[in-house]
Structure 1
Amino acid sequence: MIFIIIIVLILVALGLNKFFLYIQKRGSSALGSNPPNIKRDPGLDKKTAEFLRIEKKEWKIKSKFNQNELYAWFTEAKQPTNTTVILVHGFAVDHNSLNIHAQLFYNLGYNVLQIDNQAAGKSSGKYMGYGYIESLDLIDWIDELKNRRPNEEIILFGASMGAATVMLVSPKVDGKVKAIIEDSGYTSTKDILSYHAQNMYHIKGRWLINGISLFSKIRAGFFYGQADCMKALKKNKIPILFMHGQNDFTVPFEMEEKLYTCGKFFKEKYVSQGVHIRSYYIDSINYQKAVEKFLQHDQ
């Protein structure tokens, strides 16, 4: 009997480890990360191409969390300014996935810092952190920016997992960050994994996710419960713009509605008919207006 129990436990452990690798390793497709082919509004492709031709300075730091090497690219504004937007990308992509958003902030007159998260792009690392590890690394990037440009005002922009990242970091950077914009963020790691387990794979069960979470702690250094955006927002004091598309089925729109109700801080909301992280592609004029209005509210 003891032998059978040991064999069962080993098989369970192997299964949980396999699930962990599937949903957290570099390049995972667990959340359906292949972007849809969406036609962009006229002029966006041209503006993005022009932005990509501008000289960019490569930055490198080491993560204080696990000593992995992290890379970013700094684009200086057309006219001198002391405000930089840090862009944080989403799940299983790299900084290039937000080039179209980077050009938006560049053309609004800001410096732009595009980072590669751990286990993405040029940065090292085996495992993604669903916003938790990335939020700790984002503090390192904020400190690096402040060291290089002591008088800099900082705006954070995050998309999807990057949106979770900027929300999770919000209580920890009060006084360092002027404003936060989150696009298509989820309420928590457990919530988004539960949603996809049920909708994509027809698997129900928080017990399964809690089991995988244990392997995340062992192998990646964090429990899924540590990546809870709603808990973070309840402690936040920084102004936040919440942006989401009503036809988002990667991170359901209902999550945005829950996030918007959390916390007591200045907040604004933008809603489009777009799919996941594609609101700007199809509604660029209104998207830009919402960003400009939000960023001007306290100037």
Structure 2
Amino acid sequence: MIIILLILLLLVVLILNAFFLYIQQRGSKALGSEAPKVKMDEGLEESTARFLAKDKDEWQIESHYNGSKLYGWFTDNDAQTTVILVHGFGVDHNSLNVHAQLFDKLGCNVLQIDDQAAGKSEGKYLGFGYIESQDLLDWIQEVLRRHPTDKIVLFGASMGAATVMLTTGNDLPKNVKLIIEDSGYTSAADILSYHCQKRYHIKGKLLIAGISLMSRLRAGFSYRQTDCRKALEKNNLPILFMHGKNDFTVPFNMRDELSTCGQFPKMSYGSLGVHIRSYYVDSKNYQQAVDKFFKKYL
């Protein structure tokens, strides 16, 4: 009987480990990270190409979380504001080139980073925003080391949006002034549960709890630590919440749940766009919302 129980326990561990690797290892497509194909508003492709042609300095730091080498690319506009862009799940910094050109056009310095286990950066596992939020603290310090008087704006999309929201749960330097989240989810457990129900018509609560335990053992964090609502309860920085009503990767109702957390200045923007594509199809209103947010709080 003991042998049978040990065999069953081993099978459970192996199954949970397989799910953990499927969901969190580098290159995971567990959340369907293939970018939605949409036609950009007129002029966006050309302005993005001009931005990409500008000189960029490659930065490198070491993660205090686990020692991984991390890489970023800085576009210097000799400005007093630097925007750090944090990309989403299963992609790299290039996924936000269109958004980077927006902040470049608004006259900001732009720092695009590759998260752990993405692009050029080292790391084995995706962190659903938690590992990335710890590394974002390091990137903030690197900006301050090189540009000590700059105001800092944190912009994140999807998992990157969760990252910037989770970062607000920390004691941030006074230079960090604003947060912009585009298509962010409430927590790792919530977004995995949503996809379990959407794709496989199961709640998967016990499975997700088991994968969270495996994440704790292998990646150093549990899904409890990815709850953006708890972080926002501690936040005092202005946040702009930006979501598309036709987003089927992160449901639109998560915007309402997130934007009602905490007591801090907030603005909201909504479009008919799909996941992280509001700016592509509603660029005029999207830019106006960002510009209004800057003018009011920066």
Same fold by TM-score, threshold 0.5 exceeded?
Answer: yes
Per the alignment, residue 44 of structure 1 pairs with 44
What does 1:92-103 align with in structure 2 at a 5 Å threshold?
92-103=90-101
Matched ranges for 1:243-282 at <5 A: 243-282=242-281
State the shift of 1:174 in Å.
Answer: 5.4
Distance 1:221 1:69 in 2: 17
Q: How does 1:1-299 map to 2 (within 5 A)?
A: 1-77=1-77, 80-172=78-170, 173=172, 175-299=174-298
CA drift at 1:35: 0.8
SS at match of 2:270: strand
Q: Is the 8 A contact 2:239 2:265 kept in 1?
A: yes
Aligned 8 A contact 2:84 2:153 in 1? yes
- The size of the alignment, in residue pairs, is 297
SS state at 1:200 partner: helix
Partner amino acid, structure 2, of 1:4: I
SS in 2 for 1:171: coil
TM normalised by structure 2 equals 0.98
Give, in whole Å, the separation in 2 of the partners of 1:119 and 1:203.
29
Between the aligned partners of 1:136 and 1:240, the Cα distance in structure 2 is 19
- CA shift for structure 1 position 198: 1.4
CA distance in 1, matches of 2:124, 2:201: 27
4+ aligned runs moved over 4 Å, structure 1: none
In structure 2, how many angstroms separate the alpha carbons of the residues matched to 1:174 and 1:210? 34
Separation of aligned partners in 1, 2:216 and 2:58: 31
Gaps of 5+ in 1: none
The whole-number CA distance in structure 2 between the counterparts of 1:41 and 1:242 is 21
Shift of 1:274: 0.3
- Give, as a single letter, the amino acid of the residue that structure 1 aligns with 2:107: G
Matched AA of 2:100: A
RMSD: 0.8
2 CA distance for matches of 1:296 and 1:170?
21
The code of the aligned residue for 1:235 comes to: K
Corresponding letter in the other structure for 1:118: Q
Say if 1:119 and 1:125, in contact at 8 Å, map to a contact too.
Answer: yes
TM-score, structure 1 as length reference = 0.98
Q: Shift in Å at residue 164 of structure 1? A: 0.1
Q: Deviations over 1:20-62 (max 9, x none)?
A: 0000011101000001110000000000000000000000000
Q: Is the 8 A contact 1:119 1:128 kept in 2?
A: yes
Residues 187 and 226 in structure 2, CA contact (< 8 A), matched pair in contact too: yes
Deviations 1:127-152 (A, max 9, x none): 00000000000000000110111111
Contact 1:48 1:99 survives alignment (8 Å): yes
- C-alpha distance after superposition, 1:154-192 (max 9, x if no partner): 000000000000000013215231000000000011100
Rounded to whole Å, the distance in 1 between the matches of 2:275 and 2:167 is 22
Report deviation, 1:298: 2.8
**1:157 partner SS:** strand
SS of residue paired to 1:297: helix
